[in-house]
């Protein structure tokens, strides 16, 4: 707790609704701001005022002096500009000035809430030397067309200095459909790579040493199937077999956030949670270098959540997976060190940094105190960060380079372990190679030119950042209490609680943008000059036909009897409680069964999922 509880509201008002950024920031009204704002009159600082008694800035802030009336650029008339409101994207009021009185209690004591980098509670970072010892992994997301095209993009990225691979799958693969499924028509290879069989996975990583390169795969509902494909592809690697215990990387596999936000599922919640637990258990025994789940706030944020909601729902998802694994009889220290997280980096610079700091502190406390983890590595929260796709605008897309750079810097100053920077053209299409290169260079400039890596946690002790971190932690625990009252996260998701919270936040933020209470440059203000056309990557429709041919060829050359046998064994195992399904899935992959065939075999036992609409 902070020394001065009057620095923020101690509890939510009954009508409190968090804010969030949302997809498609398209205004409903004509823009009315000027290209240049009048400099506000500066008020002298009252030096005789005690710092502890300085007032909190009202959420309904006064208009800036001299800036109430603005000339409307390009409109030829004058209108009254929107009053500035000093609050975070989560709706948290921001004070005019932060002082020593806003720092947490206990600094320098035995329960120091800030402490040192690499020491509990890891507020300042998970490693003592952080980027002085090793930079974050620069991991650009890539995937389109067939596995051949994406393999060429992977090689391009590695040649240009990328240090890890991150795989984007197309929509049919994410939904568990083969490329020839009726629902796949027109979607094959459009927004990621099409992977139907283990042969596609082998082609995807052809010529890449899987024992040396860390690989991330962003897939959830059919994640166990894709992991099985990857393990078998490594067994059949051109350079010689790479056993599971030598593979390093991450598979997302965070199924709870699919029901909360991203809406890509194959099975009902309970059997989906079983598959997730099977992966964690199997990887703990066979893949010690692999992160079997990346607990993801990114998609929760992209769906419209605030930073506070992203933090709370993501951590509660993670704690739920830990609880499930412990209930299976696993020692928490046998798997917790390999859990990883995936956060969004939005445009509210200081709030994002506070979010990452609070996340580390909360996770460390919960793992040590609630679950009794004894291995200090179990207390560490290691996370990947991606800049906010939802902050990218189709209008004036070159502005997105600036947004991405600021968001990436927040991730770095927040202590991320790996980072993806979005390309400026991704509001329009999959990125071109030129746009990807600029995105990667953005990380390299931050790493090698800015000097922010020279010292560990340069913002540690900042009055403003530490106060925001405290507020973030408080709001997170408020959400924890509400979710626990509902019976836990699985039950809360079934009752659509987080879904409703996110929907409310998304609606409120869009209202602010439409009313110009919140300015988005190039969208509802400063819109001049948006006339040039941005070159975009266009996926050749012929690639869909190419993938269908690959799938048909794979089916024609496999042992159909072996495929049917392994699918039958999978169905039999799925019908039994307590049987880990990873080994039957590996057998299906070896036999040549396709993703869609495996999903359908499991659906014959588990059933499908139908969402209750949230209004």
Which pLDDT does position 161 carry in this prediction? 83
Which pLDDT does position 612 carry in this prediction? 80
Q: Give how far Cα 558 sits from Cα of 137, 166, 486, 567, 592, Å.
A: 38, 29, 49, 14, 6
Angle ∠(40,45,46) on CA atoms, nearest 5: 140
Average pLDDT for 44-59: 36
Taking only the tens place, the pLDDT of each residue in 279-290 is 999 999 999 999
In this predicted structure, the answer to whether residue 208 has a pLDDT above a threshold of 90 is yes
The larger pLDDT score, comparing residue 106 to residue 570, is at: 570
In this predicted structure, the answer to whether residue 43 has a pLDDT above a threshold of 90 is no
Output the CA torsion sign for 297, 457, 357, 468.
Answer: negative
Which pLDDT does position 530 carry in this prediction? 72
Q: How far apart are CA 47 and CA 59, in angstroms?
A: 24
Angle ∠(85,89,92) on CA atoms, nearest 5: 70
Taking only the tens place, the pLDDT of each residue in 383-411 is 999 999 999 999 999 999 999 999 999 99
In this predicted structure, the answer to whether residue 414 has a pLDDT above a threshold of 60 is yes
Please say whether the beta carbons of 601 and 615 come within 8 A.
no
Which pLDDT does position 141 carry in this prediction? 76
Burial status of residue 35 (CB atoms within 10 A of its CB: 0-12, 13-18, 19 or more): middle
Q: How far apart are CA 168 and CA 171, in angstroms?
A: 10
Which pLDDT does position 610 carry in this prediction? 87
Residue with tokens 């999922």: 609
Which pLDDT does position 417 carry in this prediction? 94
In this predicted structure, the answer to whether residue 22 has a pLDDT above a threshold of 70 is no
Which pLDDT does position 561 carry in this prediction? 98
Please say whether the beta carbons of 566 and 268 come within 8 A.
no
User: Tokens for 493?
Assistant: 């998701």
- Give the residue among 296, 263, 245 at the shortest CA–CA distance from 420: 296
Q: How far apart are CA 105 and CA 1, in angstroms?
A: 6
Q: How far apart are CA 398 and CA 387, in angstroms?
A: 15
Which pLDDT does position 595 carry in this prediction? 98
Which pLDDT does position 142 carry in this prediction? 81
Taking only the tens place, the pLDDT of each residue in 297-317 is 999 999 999 999 999 999 999
Which pLDDT does position 67 carry in this prediction? 36
Compute how many other C-beta atoms are within 10 angstroms of the C-beta atom of residue 613. 6
In this predicted structure, the answer to whether residue 293 has a pLDDT above a threshold of 90 is yes
Which pLDDT does position 82 carry in this prediction? 56
Verify cis geometry, omega within 30 degrees of 0, for the bond prior to 121: yes
Domain coordinates of the chain in residue numbers? 558-606
The larger pLDDT score, comparing residue 510 to residue 67, is at: 510
- Count of H-run helices and E-run strands, the chain: 20, 11
Which pLDDT does position 467 carry in this prediction? 97
Taking only the tens place, the pLDDT of each residue in 561-592 is 999 999 999 999 999 999 999 999 999 999 99
Which pLDDT does position 615 carry in this prediction? 65
Which pLDDT does position 433 carry in this prediction? 87
Percent of the chain whose predicted confidence (pLDDT) is above 70: 86
Q: How far apart are CA 612 and CA 278, in angstroms?
A: 27
Average pLDDT for 203-226: 94
Range with the poorest average pLDDT among 395-409, 415-429, 519-533: 519-533
Taking only the tens place, the pLDDT of each residue in 339-352 is 999 999 999 999 99
Average pLDDT for 241-270: 95
What is the widest separation between alpha-carbon atoms in the chain?
A: 87
Burial status of residue 328 (CB atoms within 10 A of its CB: 0-12, 13-18, 19 or more): middle
Which pLDDT does position 16 carry in this prediction? 28
- Give the residue among 234, 197, 195 at the shortest CA–CA distance from 218: 195
Which pLDDT does position 63 carry in this prediction? 40
In this predicted structure, the answer to whether residue 418 has a pLDDT above a threshold of 60 is yes
In this predicted structure, the answer to whether residue 217 has a pLDDT above a threshold of 70 is yes
User: Tokens for 449?
Assistant: 């030119």
Taking only the tens place, the pLDDT of each residue in 434-457 is 999 999 999 999 999 999 999 999
Q: How far apart are CA 299 and CA 527, in angstroms?
A: 29
Average pLDDT for 229-252: 95
Give me the count of residues in the chain: 615
Model confidence band, residue 371 (pLDDT cutoffs 50, 70, 90):
very high
Model confidence band, residue 604 (pLDDT cutoffs 50, 70, 90):
very high
Average pLDDT for 354-379: 98
Which pLDDT does position 537 carry in this prediction? 82
Residue 412's H or E segment, with its range, is helix 399-413
In this predicted structure, the answer to whether residue 32 has a pLDDT above a threshold of 70 is no
Range with the poorest average pLDDT among 124-133, 148-157, 527-536: 527-536
Q: Three-state secondary structure along 5-61?
A: HHHCCCCCCCCCCCCCCCCCCCCCCCCCCCCCCCCCCCCCCCCCCCHHHCCCCCCCC
User: Tokens for 350?
Assistant: 């200081």
Compute how many other C-beta atoms are within 10 angstroms of the C-beta atom of residue 243. 12
Side-chain half-sphere CA neighbours of 384 within 13 A: 30
Mean pLDDT, all residues of the chain: 87
Contacts of 111 (CB under 8 A, 6+ apart): none
């Amino acid at each position: 707790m902070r020394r001065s509880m009057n620095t923020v509201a101690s509890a939510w008002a009954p009508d409190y609704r968090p804010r969030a950024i949302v997809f498609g920031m398209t205004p409903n009204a004509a823009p009315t701001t000027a290209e240049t704002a009048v400099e506000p009159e500066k008020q002298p600082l009252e030096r005789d005022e005690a710092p502890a008694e300085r007032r909190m800035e009202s959420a309904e802030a006064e208009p800036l002096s001299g800036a109430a009336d603005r000339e409307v650029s390009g409109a030829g008339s004058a209108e009254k500009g929107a009053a500035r409101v000093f609050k975070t994207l989560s709706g948290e009021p921001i004070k005019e000035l932060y002082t020593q009185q806003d720092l947490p209690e206990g600094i320098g004591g035995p329960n120091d809430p800030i402490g040192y980098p690499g020491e509990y509670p890891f507020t300042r970072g998970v490693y003592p030397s952080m980027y002085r010892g090793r930079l974050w992994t620069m991991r650009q997301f890539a995937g389109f067309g067939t596995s051949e095209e994406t393999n060429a993009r992977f090689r391009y990225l590695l040649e240009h200095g990328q240090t890890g691979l991150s795989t984007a799958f197309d929509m049919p693969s994410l939904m568990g459909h083969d490329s020839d499924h009726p629902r796949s028509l027109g979607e094959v290879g459009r927004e990621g790579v099409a992977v139907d069989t283990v042969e596609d996975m082998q082609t995807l990583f052809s010529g890449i040493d899987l024992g040396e390169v860390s690989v991330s795969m962003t897939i959830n509902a059919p994640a166990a199937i894709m992991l099985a494909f990857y393990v078998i592809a490594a067994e059949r690697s051109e350079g010689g077999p790479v056993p599971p215990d030598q593979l390093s990387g991450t598979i997302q596999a965070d199924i709870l956030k699919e029901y909360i936000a991203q809406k890509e599922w194959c099975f009902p919640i309970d059997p989906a949670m079983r598959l997730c637990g099977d992966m964690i258990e199997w990887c703990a025994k066979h893949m010690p270098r692999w992160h079997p789940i990346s607990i993801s706030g990114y998609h929760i944020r992209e769906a419209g959540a605030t930073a506070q909601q992203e933090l709370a729902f993501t951590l509660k998802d993670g704690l739920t997976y830990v609880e499930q694994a412990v209930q299976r009889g696993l020692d928490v220290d046998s798997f917790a060190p390999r859990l990883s997280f995936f956060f969004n980096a939005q445009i509210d610079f200081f709030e994002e940094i506070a979010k990452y700091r609070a996340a580390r502190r909360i996770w460390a406390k919960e793992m040590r105190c609630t679950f009794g983890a004894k291995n200090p590595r179990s207390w560490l929260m290691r996370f990947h960060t991606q800049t906010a796709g939802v902050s990218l605008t189709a209008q004036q897309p070159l502005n997105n380079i600036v947004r991405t750079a600021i968001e990436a810097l927040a991730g770095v100053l927040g202590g991320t372990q790996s980072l993806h920077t979005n390309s400026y053209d991704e509001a329009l299409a999959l990125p071109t190679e030129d746009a990807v290169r600029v995105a990667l260079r953005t990380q390299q400039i931050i790493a090698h030119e800015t000097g922010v890596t020279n010292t560990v946690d340069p913002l540690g002790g900042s009055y403003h950042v530490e106060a925001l971190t405290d507020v973030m932690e408080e709001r997170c625990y408020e959400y924890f209490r509400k979710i626990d009252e509902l019976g836990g996260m699985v039950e809360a998701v079934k009752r659509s609680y987080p879904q409703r919270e996110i929907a409310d936040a998304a609606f409120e933020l869009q209202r602010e943008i439409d009313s110009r209470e919140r300015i988005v440059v190039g969208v509802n203000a400063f819109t001049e000059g948006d006339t040039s056309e941005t070159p975009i990557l266009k996926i050749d429709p012929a690639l869909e036909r190419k993938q269908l041919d690959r799938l048909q060829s794979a089916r024609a050359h496999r042992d159909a009897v072996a495929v049917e046998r392994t699918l039958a064994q999978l169905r039999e195992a799925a019908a039994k409680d307590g049987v880990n399904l990873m080994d039957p899935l590996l057998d299906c992959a070896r036999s040549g069964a396709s993703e869609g065939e495996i999903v359908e075999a499991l659906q014959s036992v588990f059933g499908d999922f139908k969402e209750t609409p949230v209004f």
